[in-house]
Amino acid sequence: MHTLLSQYFGYQNFRPLQEEVISSFTQNNDTLVLMPTGGGKSICYQIPALMKKGTILVISPLIALMKDQVDALQSMGISSAYLNSTISPIEQSAIKQNAEAGDYKLLYIAPERLGNPETISWLKRIDLSGIAVDEAHCISQWGHDFRPDYRNLALFKSQFPHLPIIALTASATPKVQKDIVSCLNLENVNIFQSSFYRKNLSLHITPKRNMKHKIVLECTKNKDNATIIYCYSRKETENIAEMLQQEGVKAKAYHAGLPHETRSAVQEQFLKDNIQVVTATIAFGMGVDKPNIRTVIHTTFPKTLEGYYQETGRAGRDGLASKCILMWSRGDTRKHEFFIEKSENTEQAELERIKMNEVVQFCDQKICRWNQIISYFGETPEFTECGNCDICLSSNDVFDATEVTQKILSTVIRTENRFGKSHIVGVLRGSKAQNIIKWGHENLPVWGIEHQYSKNELSDIFEHLVHKKILIKNDGDFTTYKVSSIGLDLLKKRETIFLPQIEKEEEIISPKINQIITFDTQVFTGLKALRKQIADKKNVPPFIIFNDATLQEIAYYLPQSIEGFGKISGIGKQKKEEFGEIFTTKIKKMTQMYNLSPKSIPENIAKSPTSPRKKSTKTGNRKQARIDKTQELLKEKKSVLEISKILDVTDSTIYKYITDILHNTENLALVHHLLPDAHQYKIIEDSFQKLGTDRLKPIFEDLHEEFSYDELKIIRVLLGA
């Protein structure tokens, strides 16, 4: 299997669990595979197809996905075909004859065909070696994408008892997993489950304020990257696409109300990189095997967490860093409730409501996003903070929330610990809402005392205080809050409290996760242009030629020979022979043009499935990579402002990195150029000696607020505290 992996797919090593899955299936065991999108599920039945005698039948619900997979297989020299409604009767007849003659290693069909007895009779005339059921969660009524046609698969075990079945899915809760096994009548099944964590996806949930501005900003600053924007309605897809077009972004709408020809054209343009953005309903995406989608945006929260996971999973399938943004508003629950209430099946409606509330809780909670998702799918997380979502990233960007916290807690106490968040925020903002007047709260000394923060910003701060258990819910049917013992203690001692930075109304929070990679971007751009040129001639999407990860590795190593070119990850024998000369010719020209030096490909790095990156003390840990980069830039005497611009993070984040560096190194000379002059330093040192190092607020006030908290933190470390 290792030889086949290298020869056809161009990789030396399998991804986690692939080898074990392949061994199970080739030994004729029924097998259930749970791997995230982009985790390499397809290889789990494609390699066995090459190892086994006969043909593997692949059940796939998506016409577009069938075509893309067959195109990709044929480009690697693997005989395969598909049967669906897009093929003429004459072509279908020829494919059926070829299948009976044993011409294909893989044959893709849709589940609908299995309801026809003639299809079953025909399949019995083919030398089948196994059956692969893709998107297996569709068979379960408890799944998020139940399809009645998948119930036709229940007959396989009775009609083909000698054939092993491999069922594959990216999103199935423990309940759905049991249902898959039951519905397919799998016997003595081997279950393999990869981690649901996808470390290359950065998850961001942002308040649904200034939504259109945020979308335009995201799409215009990443014009070379592919983006899917999931919208709630057909009208919204068209409105957002038109808005982006006016901003110079190549965007088109896709929804079920468009003619089939239009939808096909949009999909084709997107696959071939002729348009950058597709604004779509959830009708789009499952059948799009495009590995270089860099951003997925939801304008309304999805109906289920499974759906959210599936849809965000369409980003970064090539393993490179990608971003997923969800525009969050609790008010959108009304949209989902409207359709839930229309359901005549009360049991199904209740199930949908439960799933919707799970998404609401996911968006509301100030807990690591990945931790929540992993736990939902029944996996025990190995971390409490992923460092790769808005919650974990915001913990690096904090602000002094002491004053506003005191105001919120005082208001909760003065309203007798018996009101909800909206009421408390209204009192602070000086609202004259009926309920506030009814209780006489406009007469409280806390009424109207907070004007620095907007209603939405105060709401966000309130949620952080709940997460820190400074405020806790009261018992009862209504959601009201009281100040906890932690909060009372904080008020009594007048302690300083820092909270994660909130999104200001006029600002857009979309912290860019820099993946510090060393490939030459000019070469990468040139290689993409060459790939596009070849793909257009062959009339296939560019990723069928090579994915972005492979191009980035080429741009890093700059192979000058066809032999060296063949050592790059993702380049198998056929692609080496077909594209080696044209690519190496282009690489040589660009190497000379940009005065670059090729790098040798070490054997232990060759065929690595991920693109090269600068080493960090924790592989794959982006935060650590940024800390390492900060240390390098400090050695070059860069200022905090310069470093923050290079890494595209806030000044406060850089100061936090610096304190981490100082805690882990004795090289204090790194920060000498950042320190105040000797006279000022002595004044600060005296203040620390006089007031102690436990709390920064007294120092801050003693120095008449002339130095920031961030500067004081660094000096506190230098003083040995």
Closest C-alpha to 43, from 64, 63, 73:
73
Q: Residue 57's beta-bridge partner residues?
A: 107, 131
The predicted structure's pLDDT at residue 240:
94
In order of 35, 308, 667, the CA distances from 202 in angstroms are: 18, 13, 33
Mean pLDDT across 595-604? 72
CATH code of the region 622-718: 1.10.10
In order of 70, 79, 95, 219, 700, the CA distances from 84 in angstroms are: 13, 17, 11, 35, 71
- Distance in angstroms (rounded) separating the CA atoms of residues 260 and 257: 9
Topology (CATH) of 2-193 = Rossmann fold (3.40.50)
- Helices H, strands E: what count in the chain? 32, 17
What is the tens place of the pLDDT at every residue in 77-98? 999 999 988 888 999 999 999 9
- Distance in angstroms (rounded) separating the CA atoms of residues 353 and 545: 44
Topology (CATH) of 398-500 = Arc Repressor Mutant, subunit A (1.10.10)
What is the tens place of the pLDDT at every residue in 24-65? 999 999 999 998 877 788 999 999 999 999 999 999 887 767
Residue 510 clears pLDDT 80, i.e. is over it: no
Domains 398-500 and 622-718 share a fold: yes
pTM, two decimals, is 0.59
pLDDT band at 126 (very low <50, low <70, confident <90, very high): very high
CATH architecture of 201-388: 3-Layer(aba) Sandwich (3.40)
Strongest mean pLDDT among 213-222, 392-401, 662-671: 213-222
Residue 290 clears pLDDT 90, i.e. is over it: no
The predicted structure's pLDDT at residue 37:
74
Topology (CATH) of 521-593 = DNA polymerase; domain 1 (1.10.150)
Would you say 328 and 363 are in contact if contact means Cβ atoms under 8 Å apart? yes
Closest C-alpha to 598, from 606, 608, 588:
588
pLDDT band at 342 (very low <50, low <70, confident <90, very high): confident
Q: What is the mean pLDDT of the chain?
A: 84
Helix axes 521-538, 548-557, angle to 10 degrees: 130
Domain residue ranges of the chain, discontinuous segments joined by +: 2-193, 201-388, 398-500, 521-593, 622-718
Mean pLDDT across 596-605? 69
What is the tens place of the pLDDT at every residue in 427-478? 998 888 888 999 999 999 999 998 778 777 888 899 889 888 899 999 887 8
